[in-house]
Amino acid sequence: MKVSRKVMGVEYAIRDIVAEARRLEAAGRRVTYLNIGDPPWYGFQAPRGVLEELSRSALAGHAHYAPSEGLAELRAEIAKKEAAKGLDCGAEDVLVTNGVSEALDMVIASIVEDGDEVLLPGPYYPPYASYIRLHGGVPVEFATDAESSEPDIADIRSKVTGRTVAICVINPNNPSGTVYGKKALSEIVDIAAERGLYVICDEIYDEIVFDGGFDGIGSVARDAAVIVLNGFSKVHLMSGLRAGYMAFSRTPALDAIREHLPKLARVRIATCLPVQHAALASLRMPNGYIADFVSGLRKRRDAVVRGLDSVPGLSCPVPRGAFYAFPRIEDERFADDRKFVMGLLESRGVLTVHGSGFGSRYGSGHFRVVFLAPVETLEGAVEAIRSYMA
């Protein structure tokens, strides 16, 4: 029976490679999983009050449908958070979704037609390219300097064509950990405003920044067509509960999408109500646990980056945010990053993700290591990589 070419083209490297690891485990091998950015899976649990609110809501009978746009109190609390980062928005500008993933799908579905181009930071989080292709569009990567965390503005300008509809920003970036500053964000917004493009900015790691502060794109958005994507999977340690949102900047440039996109929210009905109650509790509670999480991550980052950078044949820029190291493979014997990752898995039982899964242009020749595991596990993995390459 027929299957669409669009769906055949969907890829998600981070999960696609797990099948091979499972096969090894079934054969009795031990695997160290450093492939998925899932904090609770590694033991970073959401505060008890959040989980209590989840179960209280379920037991109170909230197993019914929620409003399609999201719970009013949650939208108001999200708007407060985004406004504090500089976005001009209120509760009516927020739409609650089943994770950033669903928000991304809805936004891309609403703006991309066959052949339209969307600029993506290279390397990028894979679902960006997958959703763009699924909706008939063409992902186009632009360069970012991994050492300085600066996007190449001239490269962005040169890649805007008559078919471009949007520039995506992932800040902090998965997989590279780069964090754009205000000047870079402002230059991207300028290009978008000049050329009549949307700016879609994913800030899911906004509070996981190690060196210096974080600038929300909202603080430089002015009248541009800026849409912020964010959620509860990373900072709020609620990945499996599936809560995210989009927040629209208050600008006439977004009038048309704001009229039509909410129809997509209505056809998929709603986000789980007890999960929304838990998300609300998470935003309202003291956020000391986030500071503890980030300081634990800083120790892991320092250990893993120092280790990887000391391995002959690798060079590892220091990620400024999120929880991923993205070393470059400089040893030509390992020029094919997928073979490198598969060989490492088979010979040493360490699962990472090949860089080409994050974009062929700027991701190839790298691999991604998630640094959520304990420092000893990460140090063991670095030594396994060292001996594998030797």
Q: For binding to ligand PLP (CB under 6 A), which residues are involved?
A: 37, 99-101, 125, 170, 174, 202, 204, 231, 233, 239, 244
Instruction: Decide whether 203 or 337 has the Cβ nearer to ligand PLP.
Output: 203
Instruction: Decide whether 144 or 174 has the Cβ nearer to ligand PLP.
Output: 174
Q: Nearest distance from residue 124's CB to ligand PLP, in Å?
A: 8
Q: Nearest distance from residue 295's CB to ligand PLP, in Å?
A: 21
**Residue of minimal Cβ distance to ligand PLP:** 99
Instruction: Decide whether 36 or 76 has the Cβ nearer to ligand PLP.
Output: 36
Q: Nearest distance from residue 327's CB to ligand PLP, in Å?
A: 18
Q: How many Å apart are CA 82 and CA 279, to the nearest integer?
A: 15
Instruction: Decide whether 348 or 368 has the Cβ nearer to ligand PLP.
Output: 368
Per-residue b/e over 202-230, b at no fewer than 16 CB within 10 Å?
Answer: bbbbbbbbbeeebbbbbebbeebbbbbbb
Two structure tokens written together for 21: 């690891």
Two structure tokens written together for 112: 């991309």
Cα–Cα distances in angstroms (integers) from residue 32 to residues 22, 98, 143, 352, 379, in the given order: 11, 29, 31, 9, 12
336: left (phi over 0), alpha (psi -120 to 50) or beta: beta
Q: How many Å apart are CA 194 and CA 197, to the nearest integer?
A: 8
Cα–Cα distances in angstroms (integers) from residue 95 to residues 24, 69, 232, in the given order: 42, 5, 14
Q: Nearest distance from residue 5's CB to ligand PLP, in Å?
A: 25
Q: Nearest distance from residue 236's CB to ligand PLP, in Å?
A: 10
> To 5 degrees, how large is the angle CA 281–CA 227–CA 223?
125
Instruction: Decide whether 282 or 348 has the Cβ nearer to ligand PLP.
Output: 282
**Is 59 exposed, middle or buried, given 0-12, 13-18 or 19+ CB atoms closer than 10 A?**
exposed
Q: Nearest distance from residue 67's CB to ligand PLP, in Å?
A: 20
Beta bridge partners of 198: 166, 225
Q: Nearest distance from residue 134's CB to ligand PLP, in Å?
A: 15
Instruction: Decide whether 334 or 367 has the Cβ nearer to ligand PLP.
Output: 367
3-state secondary structure of 294: helix
Q: Nearest distance from residue 305's CB to ligand PLP, in Å?
A: 19
Q: How many Å apart are CA 358 and CA 175, to the nearest integer?
A: 7
Instruction: Decide whether 193 or 217 has the Cβ nearer to ligand PLP.
Output: 217
Instruction: Decide whether 88 or 206 has the Cβ nearer to ligand PLP.
Output: 206
